[in-house]
Amino acid sequence: MNAVITGVTKGIGYAIAQAFAAGGFNLAVTARSEEGLNALRRSFGQYFPKSEVLALPFNLGRKEEAKAFGRAVLEHFPTVDVLVNNAGLFLMDDVTQEEDYVLEQMMAVNLYGPYYLTKALLPAMKKRRQGHIFNICSTASLAPQADKGAYGITKFALLGFTKALRLELQDQGIRVTAVLPGSTWSASWEGSGVPEDQLMRAEDVALAVWNAWSMSRNTVVEEILMQPQK
């Protein structure tokens, strides 16, 4: 089985990649950092030697690169069982004061990247009438949050895309799940002053994704909403 996962060099994406490698999947992964992808390839080669890893650097905020990654995946793995659209960009600002590029950059990464990559890989799923697409949204997909106005706009849009996909694909054997995690510990929180034990663990989000995939094909978990306990 083959899983495609974006934004894998840290945090939730890395944990999801670990979960599927441990479950016996081959992986096609991407991120912008070639150094980070090389580190992942070395680590997975040591701990998951039976999992083949195709790791390619792409900027999914660029339409042609998102499409190119999709083509590269299908040239290497002709079938795709799982797609996890995890790559994302967060820029904190006030929507009434921010420069135009803030919304534009986040929309390109957070919505257009998943949109074009999904469209590139869908024909392979439709041909077999099976597959599972996970879009990593956010609690910001449900309600606006202070200093996260433009980010919330993009995540609202990603949730809308997810719902539209689910409706269109429900009769074609393809499951679609929105994952809406709250604050989750990753390297980006270091130095913030927020104690690690007050945030969720990326491994818990990965476990939720794995469990949703593991259910029978007759069942789809439409949304996974997760919050820190504190």
Give the torsion sign (CA, 192, 190, 105, 83). Answer: negative
Burial 101-139 (b: 16+ CB within 10 A, else e): ebbebbbbbbbbbbbbbbebbbebbeeeeebbbbbbbbb
Give first-to-last CA distance, the chain, whole Å. 37
Q: Which of 112, 115, 116, 151 is catalytic?
A: 151
CA distance 24 to 124: 20
Question: Is 151 in the active site?
Answer: yes
Q: In this structure, what is the dihedral angle of CA atoms 179, 181, 184, 189, given to the nearest 10 degrees?
A: 100
Task: Give yes or no for a contact between 202 and 14, defined as CB atoms under 8 angstroms apart.
Answer: yes
β-strand pairing of 2-6 with 26-31: parallel
Residues 6+ apart with CB under 8 A from 226: 179, 180, 181, 182, 200, 204, 205, 208
How big is the CA angle at 98 (ends 94 and 99), to the nearest 5 degrees?
Answer: 170
φ, ψ (nearest 5 deg) of residue 184:
-125, 135
Residues tagged active-site: 151
